[in-house]
Amino acid sequence: MKKNLTTNYDDRQYMISEDFELFYYRDTNPVKRTGLHSHPYYELYFFLEGNVELSIRQKNYSLSYGDIFYIPPNTTHGVFVKNFDVPYRRFDLWLSIPFYNRLVEVCPDLSYYPDLVMKENCHLIHTERTAFSLVLNRLYSIIEEQKGNRFGRDSRILILISDLGLTINRLAYEQINKPLPSQQDSLYKNICTYIDNNIDEVLTLDRIADHFFLSKYYLSHVFKDNIGISIHKYITKRRLTMCHDAIIAGVPASSVCQQHGFDDYSSFYRAFKKEYGISPKALAQQAKLEIAGIRNDKDIKG
């Protein structure tokens, strides 16, 4: 991360801003810390690196990259650094209660995870690297907007914070509501059916995920676990099979690649030869010879 986006560590436990404060910390030396404490605002803690333990409501967690903690107002918690063999890096986002309430009033879905935390005491979301990168992109963008003075700065920050909140709530929802193995089995089969039914159209991971109302990262994970290859590779293989059959049937290779979703002939040629060990042209010639041979056999027998 750019050095000018880092924040000097400050152990204050009160907000200066009326709405929110966001910090990116990178500590390499021991400093005085607050210990167990609470504060009258919401805190979202995003862990990047370090040898650290977080304590909340008498439970201790050893942190790993991608951990997100949600800390409601007036909840006792503390972060304890065991050593500085590696830098201690994290983001801290503070939201005032009135600001949080205004966000939820506009977008009620932002309260899904906070409400669940209060009921179930489940403060931790552990994310995979791909999903966490989405979260980090939003955090970086908020800090960059704060340090700039472009037109629409405040509106952009509000949108980014709302988007960040929705992303976290989605991650929490999908982590808590994972389908059972039998449901996963049904899901990957339904994905295959959807792909086969729309194979000649533009099929992106976003489009497929939107169709099933699921995160594209979760969708990719379930599909690869069951099929053994990525969704993209599966789509390519299905299209190549259709192209292969069409060429044998006598359709020109140049027409085939356009009909079955390949953007250009060169990418189609490379994928086809890698899959079948023969070029489309050579396959077409081979198919013609085989058809001619069958006809000759029929003529001789006739």
pLDDT tens readout for residues 36-47 = 999 999 999 999
- Which residues partner with 93 through β-bridges? 22, 44
pLDDT at residue 179 above 70? no
List, in order, residues 6 or more apart from 47 with CB less than 8 Å away. Answer: 54, 63, 64, 65, 66, 67, 68, 69, 90
Each as own residue / partner, the long-range contacts of residues 243-246 (CB below 8 Å, 24 or more positions apart, any chain) are: 243/268, 243/272, 243/280, 244/272, 244/276, 244/283
Domain 3-176 coded CATH 3.40.50.300: no
- Min mean pLDDT across 5-19, 73-87, 91-105, 175-189 is at 175-189
pLDDT tens readout for residues 103-122 = 999 999 999 999 999 888 88
Question: Could you tell me the pLDDT band of residue 300, with boundaries at 50, 70 and 90?
Answer: very low
Question: Is residue 39 a contact partner of residue 14, using CB atoms and an 8 Å limit?
Answer: yes
Each as own residue / partner, the long-range contacts of residues 153-161 (CB below 8 Å, 24 or more positions apart, any chain) are: 161/20, 161/103
SS (H, E, C) 55-104: EECCEEEECCCCEEEEECCCCCEEEEEEECCCCEEEEEEEECHHHHHHHH
What per-residue confidence (pLDDT) applies to 291?
65
Both tokens of residue 263?
């953007």
- Which residues partner with 20 through β-bridges? 95
What would the mean pLDDT of 46-60 be, rounded to a whole number? 91
Give dist(CA 258, CA 232) in Å, integer: 18
What would the mean pLDDT of 127-131 be, rounded to a whole number? 79
Question: Is residue 114 a contact partner of residue 125, using CB atoms and an 8 Å limit?
Answer: no
Both tokens of residue 62?
């050893």
Question: Could you tell me the pLDDT band of residue 12, with boundaries at 50, 70 and 90?
Answer: confident
Q: What is the mean pLDDT of the chain?
A: 85
Other C-beta atoms lying within 10 Å of the C-beta of residue 123: 20
Q: Measure CA 56 to chain center.
A: 27
What would the mean pLDDT of 148-168 be, rounded to a whole number? 94
List, in order, residues 6 or more apart from 232 with CB less than 8 Å away. Answer: 205
- 3-class DSSP assignment, residue 186: helix
pLDDT at residue 298 above 80? no
- 3-class DSSP assignment, residue 52: strand
pLDDT tens readout for residues 200-237 = 888 888 899 888 877 888 888 888 888 888 999 999 99
Question: Is residue 224 a contact partner of residue 234, using CB atoms and an 8 Å limit?
Answer: no
Give dist(CA 117, CA 125) in Å, integer: 11
- Min mean pLDDT across 21-30, 68-77, 153-162 is at 21-30
Question: Could you tell me the pLDDT band of residue 1, with boundaries at 50, 70 and 90?
Answer: very low
What residue spans in the chain does CATH classification 1.10.10.60 cover? 181-288
What would the mean pLDDT of 172-179 be, rounded to a whole number? 77
What residue spans in the chain does CATH classification 2.60.120.280 cover? 3-176
pLDDT at residue 11 above 80? no
Give dist(CA 54, CA 56) in Å, integer: 7
What per-residue confidence (pLDDT) applies to 85?
87
Predicted structure pTM score: 0.61
What per-residue confidence (pLDDT) applies to 158?
95
- The CATH superfamily of 181-288 is Homeodomain-like (1.10.10.60)
pLDDT at residue 295 above 70? no
The per-residue DSSP string of 9-30 comes to -----S-SSSSEEEEEEEE-S-
